[in-house]
């Protein structure tokens, strides 16, 4: 069984993720196959649009092949670097793609799933959408362009999502601009068949099948999030939460205390830099350098052990406190790679 199904239907290219037991988590071969298909369709005059979805199962894409990346990181890191290099090329190609891309974020859309849906011109959420960038819980950071997308969300919601890894639903995705349309899951097959028949009418088809989304619950906390996450210094965010005086602040602080201090500091800097990054290519180049450094550090290997391998959910972070993660450590993690090791676009 192939992990990604590539086909054409009418005048559209179809990309269907097909690893249901792994909730369609991306591996290097899947990214390579998608890159090849997108590259071929780019110059194919018969293909007018691209649809990305999943073949079966309960999620669009749960992320990347984290277990493989951690095993590689514990060794020489070469397989992890190869995965990131290929995945980020896919993210960048989608971001710069001239033909319209429609991503169907039906079900779990996390990590790598965010990376292949957010560059799409049309991002369809449903009542099943569960969107998150939960990487700080495994000692990683919101990569695949997270520094770009999250830093451009309203107020400080991006910083809140990056640090907490909070899950948001389809209505919240639409309200924040992470989704362009909200459709009932039952209407998705009709949307795909109508787009395949008339790819020039994507906007009209999605608008026609859209329904009014439920209330975006996260927006009720917008003022609190903007105030509590106002600082780009993690210690100041913690101080604000400790003085917050609300159930929301207390619950958020409790969540952050379970995350990797190093990963949270990396994430805050990533969003700070991402907000003024000149191009998405520059963003990917920086995230690749950060990723190459982080996957060989203790917290990522330990986070994957605790959350994914042994599932004891008791990671022993090192450094264990915010204060112990020095500016020097963050500078090392953000250090550019030598020119011959840098990420390059496809």
Catalytic residues: 64, 112, 135, 143
E-strand ranges in 22-165 read: 49-54, 59-61, 101-105, 108-110, 122-125, 130-132
End-to-end Cα distance, the chain: 27
- Whether 107 and 60 have beta carbons less than 8 Å apart is answered as yes
Cα-flanking dihedrals φ and ψ of residue 60, to 5°? -75, -55
Which tokens hold the place of 107?
């079900």
Q: Is the peptide bond before 319 cis (omega within 30 degrees of 0)?
A: yes
List, in sequence order, every residue forming a beta bridge with 9; answer none if it has no partner. 12
Cα gap 183→205, rounded to integer Å: 11
* Integer Cα distance of 262 and 314 in angstroms: 16
Q: Which two tokens stand for residue 310?
A: 């042994």
Give every CB contact of residue 121 below 8 A, 6+ residues apart in sequence.
Answer: 100, 101, 102, 180
Residue ranges with strand state E in the chain: 4-9, 12-17, 49-54, 59-61, 101-105, 108-110, 122-125, 130-132, 168-169, 181-182
Q: Are the CB atoms for 266 and 330 separated by under 8 Å?
A: yes
| CA gyration radius, the chain | 20
- Largest Cα span, the chain: 60
CB atoms within 10 A of CB 68: 15
CA distance 74 to 54: 31
Residues 6 or more apart from 7 whose CB is under 8 A from it? 13, 14, 16
């Amino acid at each position: 069984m192939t992990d990604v199904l590539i086909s054409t239907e009418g005048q559209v290219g179809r990309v269907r993720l097909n690893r249901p037991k792994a909730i369609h988590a991306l591996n290097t071969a899947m990214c390579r196959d998608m890159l090849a298909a997108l590259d071929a369709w780019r110059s194919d005059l018969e293909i007018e649009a691209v649809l990305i979805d999943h073949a079966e199962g309960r999620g669009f894409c749960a992320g990347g092949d984290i277990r493989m990346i951690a095993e590689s990181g514990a060794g020489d890191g070469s397989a992890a670097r190869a995965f990131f290099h290929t995945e980020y090329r896919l993210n960048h190609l989608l971001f710069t793609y001239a033909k319209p891309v429609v991503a169907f974020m039906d079900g779990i859309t996390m990590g790598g799933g965010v990376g292949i849906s957010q560059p799409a011109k049309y991002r369809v959420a449903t009542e099943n959408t569960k969107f998150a960038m939960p990487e700080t819980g495994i000692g990683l950071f919101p990569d695949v362009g997270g520094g770009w997308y999250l830093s451009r969300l309203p107020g400080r919601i991006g910083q809140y999502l990056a640090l907490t890894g909070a899950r948001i639903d389809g209505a919240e995705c639409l309200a924040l601009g992470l989704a362009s349309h909200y459709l009932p899951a039952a209407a998705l097959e009709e949307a795909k068949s109508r787009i395949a028949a008339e790819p020039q009418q994507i906007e009209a088809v999605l608008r026609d099948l859209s329904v009014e989304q439920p209330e975006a619950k996260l927006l009720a906390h917008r003022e609190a999030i903007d105030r509590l996450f106002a600082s780009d210094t993690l210690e100041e965010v913690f101080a604000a939460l400790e003085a917050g005086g609300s159930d929301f602040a207390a619950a958020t602080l409790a969540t952050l205390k379970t995350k990797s201090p190093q990963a949270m500091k990396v994430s805050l800097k990533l969003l700070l830099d991402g907000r003024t990054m000149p191009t998405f290519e520059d963003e990917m180049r920086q995230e690749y350098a950060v990723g190459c450094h982080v996957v060989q550090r203790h917290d990522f290997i330990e986070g994957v052990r605790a959350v994914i391998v042994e599932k004891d959910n008791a990671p022993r972070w090192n450094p264990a406190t915010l204060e112990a993660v020095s500016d020097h450590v963050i500078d090392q993690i953000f250090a550019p790679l030598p020119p011959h090791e840098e990420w390059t676009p496809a």
